[in-house]
Structure 1
């Protein structure tokens, strides 16, 4: 199973919408990191002041190596967000995602609508795909 991801920047809300699925290799995570940094730079907000919705409902259980890479990615200066909303199913993937960070500004939801409400955004139409 290979990885897939989609990054959409929403400048009007300083929001990144990230959808991820499949199984990620370290190289996949590196490419994701580059794409995220580019999308965030396009928002025009101060570093680490953006919001992120990360939809991982189609994510496979990841290797310990991949989890380590994701943990580092979530905390980097380049992609770390002010608030991070994970959209997950009730599964092992949710348990893995909870281990990525112990920040107080991270929450887990079963729907995009609930994540948007917590972040204080709606479904904007001014998105820019990356």
Structure 2
């Protein structure tokens, strides 16, 4: 049986562009998810835009096949109205992952899945930051 990859994640915020960048990799155990969730919430707290005005770019190219529990928790985050992005771009390496993400995001007109990071970033940023009154 092959060894499972350790979970890794990086969450960055660009408040000037109302952008959250998330990179996840490996296999997430319940403990890994427990470490991810507070960082995820912290990132969204750093945004200066109003609720649901942000953009999100998620890179899952290094993510391993997850347990049903981890999939359910990640899906719950995507569905949580507090974190619903104005635009959501996902980057997935393999065709299977892209098709699974496309199915999961099918109801969202504001979400797309890409194979190439540059295309994903160009699309998610195309709308530009939300303009706010001075």
TM-score (norm 2): 0.80
- Residue 116 of structure 1, CA deviation: 1.3
Residues 1:112 and 2:108 are matched in the alignment? no
The size of the alignment, in residue pairs, is 121
Q: Secondary structure at the match of 1:78?
A: helix
Higher relative contact order (CA 8 A, sep 6+): 1
- Residue 53 of structure 1, CA deviation: 0.6
1:63 corresponds to: 67
Residues 1:39 and 2:43 are matched in the alignment? yes
Question: Following the alignment from structure 1 to structure 2, what is the Cα–Cα distance between the partners of residues 91 and 41?
Answer: 33
- Residue 99 of structure 1, CA deviation: 4.3
Question: Following the alignment from structure 2 to structure 1, what is the Cα–Cα distance between the partners of residues 99 and 35?
Answer: 24
Deviations 1:36-68 (CA, angstroms, capped at 9, x unpaired): 221111111111211011011101011112111
Distance 1:74 1:26, change over 3 A: farther
2:14 corresponds to: 10
Alpha-carbon RMSD across the aligned residues, in angstroms, is 1.7
Higher helix proportion (structure 1 or 2):
2
**Unpaired segments ≥5 residues, structure 2:** 127-134
TM-score (norm 1): 0.82
Q: Is contact 1:47–1:77 with CA below 8 Å preserved after alignment?
A: no
Deviations 1:61-91 (CA, angstroms, capped at 9, x unpaired): 1111211111111111332211110011124
Q: Is contact 1:8–1:39 with CA below 8 Å preserved after alignment?
A: yes
**Unpaired segments ≥5 residues, structure 1:** 122-130
Which of these two proteins has the greater Rg computed from alpha carbons? Answer: 2
